[in-house]
Amino acid sequence: MKILYIVSLFPCWSETFIVREMKSLRDAGADISVLSLKRAKEKLIQSDAKEFVTEVMYSGGLVELNVHAIISFLKRPLLNTGLLLSIIFKLINKPVSLLKSIATWWISLSVIHKVKHLNPDHIHAHWATYPSTSAMIISKNLDIPFSFTSHAHDIFLEDHLLNKKINSSKFSVTISDYNKKRLSKQLQMNLENKMHIVHCGVDLNSNTFIRDGRESSTILAVGRLDNIKGFSVLINACAELAKNNQVFKCNIIGDGPLKELLEQQIKDNKLEEYVELVGVMPQEQVRNYLNTATLFALPSVITKQGDMDGIPVALMEAMASGLPVISTTVSGIPELIHNDINGLIVPPGDAHALSEGITKLLNNQSIRNQYSSAARKTIEKDFSVNIESDKLYQMFLPNKNANNE
């Protein structure tokens, strides 16, 4: 079965979960291609993404783009005018999103001839914003079924024709029960048969379970240096740990817009000996950190704008690797971490509660062992990429009508 994935940017170092899903589908026999709405600029290409780089489709140069977009528009002018008007009416009060969506409409029209030549059986987009807009446009022009996966900011902060996309797609997917319930209320729709839960998953073979022989006092955090990850709260918790003479070292892996602010926060709290921003790195190096750290902390928060995590894949990878984890009650995280059973969860933004939880884990190996064993079982049961991607593949099949299952 030929499946075309549509994403905003490929390759993208922080979206390894998408690559993992595609790789699992390819291993199961699917023919996977990728349409990237933007050209890749990132220097770091994760190893799993390298096998798809030659399969990536981009729009052409400016002249080619405009010529093919005009041709596609003229073939079905009423349809494409209607799609453009839908975008304008929905996003008229959000000028930045509107302009980007109009650009997405035009880019999508420009690649229709390439997609037609590829002749996919199904189109799937990740994110409920621009990639799914593109999938819907191409789907309607070529009469190819499409679906999309929604995650976090794309539904917490945005609504890019969600009703229209859900109703016109073969099926829609989201990554948590929290998301599904929230969307049902937000859109005033009964999503029972229209939206399915497929978790982002981890490769259990790549994340080997290691419980024994770990360092005794190393805290690890992995994620984009963005507000929703709560790394500022983690640094404040580390300041409290240092004040209480707790022995520890905290490594934060990742890059992002808050890098300079977090560096300054570390200096202001005189934590240079304790906390290090180690930057972004290949997945293989991240796994080395996962295999040796004492515990994993990701204190996700809800921003003033309402943005937040979904269910962070970094937490899943830590749990699969044998690391005891501590996070917060944000969004779908309690669907992954069951407090005091396979990890700890504390209120978001509470540095004191986070510090107490970290202290508990650092100083009690039996609890760490208990949590890590239970966590691995949780991942094996509910967050394995092979199991989750198979759910998706079954819905892709032509003889399956996912909305009526």
pLDDT attached to residue 282:
85
Residue from 66, 13, 65, 2 nearest 314 by CA: 13
Q: What is the CA radius of gyration of the chain?
A: 22
What integer best gives the mean pLDDT of the chain?
93
Cα end-to-end distance, the chain, whole Å: 20
Q: Which two tokens stand for residue 2?
A: 């030929």
Burial of residue 290, with CB atoms counted within 10 A of its CB: 0-12 exposed, 13-18 middle, 19 or more buried: buried
Assess whether pLDDT exceeds 60 at residue 322: yes
Count, in order, helices (H) and strands (E) of the chain.
Answer: 18, 13
CB atoms within 10 A of CB 218: 17
Give 110-168 pLDDT, tens digit per residue: 999 999 999 999 999 999 999 999 999 999 999 999 999 999 999 999 999 999 999 99
∠ CA 280-11-24, rounded to 5° = 100
Neighbour count for residue 48 (Cβ, 10 Å): 17
**What mean pLDDT comes out for the span 14-28?**
87
Q: What's the pLDDT at 405?
A: 40
pLDDT band (50, 70, 90) for residue 104: very high
% pLDDT > 90, the chain: 84
Which DSSP string corresponds to 300-351?
A: ----TTS---SS-HHHHHHHHTT--EEEES-TTHHHH--BTTTBEEE-TT-H
* CATH of span 2-201+385-404: 3.40.50.2000
The answer, yes or no, to whether residue 233 has pLDDT greater than 70, is: yes
40-90 confidence digits (pLDDT tens): 776 666 666 677 777 788 998 999 999 999 999 999 999 999 999 999 999
The residue extents of the domains of the chain are 2-201+385-404, 218-382
Closest CA to 323 of 302, 337, 335, 310: 337
Residue 189: pLDDT over 70: yes
Distance CA 345, CA 158 (A): 27
CA distance 5 to 131: 9
Would the pLDDT of 400 be above 70?
no
Residues with Cβ within 8 Å of 84's Cβ and at least 6 positions away in sequence, in order, are 102, 105
Task: Please give the CATH superfamily to which domain 218-382 belongs.
Answer: Glycogen Phosphorylase B; (3.40.50.2000)
**CA 343 → CA 15, 90, 190, 224, 231, distances in Å?**
24, 42, 33, 22, 19
Question: What's the pLDDT score for residue 79?
Answer: 97
Give the residue-averaged pLDDT of 349-365.
97
Q: What is the pTM of this model?
A: 0.89
Could you give the C-alpha distances from 238 to 89, 252, 258, 352, 395, in angstroms and in order? Answer: 48, 12, 18, 10, 45
Under DSSP, is residue 298 helix (H, G, I), strand (E, B) or coil? coil
pLDDT higher than threshold 70 for residue 203:
yes
d(CA 384, CA 204): 7
| Digit-coded pLDDT (tens) for 301-316 | 999 999 999 999 999 9
What lies within 8 Å, CB to CB, of 328 at 6+ separation is 230, 299, 300, 301, 345, 346, 347, 348
Give the Cα separation of 32 and 9 in Å (integer). Answer: 16
pLDDT score at 399: 72
Same fold, 2-201+385-404 and 218-382: yes
* Residue where the block lists tokens 């839908």: 86
Alpha-carbon distance of 199 to 384, in angstroms, equals 8
Dihedral (Cα; 84, 4, 336, 310), 10-degree rounding: -30
pLDDT at 257: 95
